[in-house]
Amino acid sequence: MKLYYHPLCRYSQKVLIALYEKQAYFHPQIVDLTHAKSRHDFKSLSPLARLPLLLLHDDTKLPESSIIIELIDSILDTGTQLLPQNMKHSLEIRLYDRLIEHDLHQVITAFEVAKKHHPMDQIKLKGLKNNINTFLSEIDDKLSSSYWLCSEHFSLADCGLIPCLSSLQHEFQLLHYEHLGRYWMQAQLRGAYLQVKQEVELAEMEKDADPE
């Protein structure tokens, strides 16, 4: 299978963490949607140009990060089981995966856009920052009773949360939260995250070196 992604895309990082947790073998295909040719070539494969995209051996295309992770978890017995067989526990993990996407990831994106394009709109920035802090406080409370987000075991929900925390670490005081701070420290030692972090750092270096 092939994974079309970009290391600086949080959704791509989410899937990469899952693939590394599953010890999956895949062909990485980096796509830079900010470059015209790269975007044009990718749109011939995926007209909506959404990253990440998983292309299976039978040419099935999956363009949604959570669905990609659910599929690879169901077809691969290796590595970490990211969704348990227990329906109640599995639903909790899916719930937090959705909450992270809608109440954290999307708000982070809006915050990043506002900082870049509307830096003087302090009211909007403060509102977005308050929303992020509120969600982080809720996660901190959730983590008071579990090692990883939804249990003692690493799951799909953690795959989604960790890239968000990585994006927030310089702007928000993650270590000031008792339980979230502990979680973030242990997440940074996770092998799958360390692999993704290396890719992110390399992509950032290449971006800084790009004259465009």
In order, the DSSP letters of 52-121 are -EEE-TT--EE--HHHHHHHHHHH--SS--SS-S-HHHHHHHHHHHHHHIIIIIHHHHHHHHHHHH-TT-
| 3-state secondary structure at position 28 | strand
- 120: which 2 tokens? 């003087």
Which of 9-18, 40-49, 72-81, 179-188 has the least mean pLDDT? Answer: 40-49
8 Å CB contact between 7 and 202? yes
Each residue of 59-72: pLDDT tens digit?
Answer: 999 999 999 999 99
pLDDT value at position 67?
A: 97
**Can you tell me the distance from the alpha carbon of 73 to that of 24, in angstroms, rounded to the nearest whole number?**
10
Q: pLDDT by residue (tens digit) across 100-117?
A: 999 999 999 999 999 988
**What is the rounded CA–CA span in Å between residue 136 and residue 127?**
14
Q: Would you state the pLDDT for residue 179?
A: 98
The runs of H, that is alpha helices, within 101-190 are 106-117, 122-142, 156-168, 178-187
Taking only the tens place, the pLDDT of each residue in 29-51 is: 999 998 999 999 999 999 988 99
CA distances, 192 to each of 83, 162, 195 (Å): 17, 11, 5
Angle between helices 106-117 and 156-168 (to 10 degrees): 20
3-state class (DSSP) for residue 128: helix
Residues 145-164 have a mean pLDDT of 97
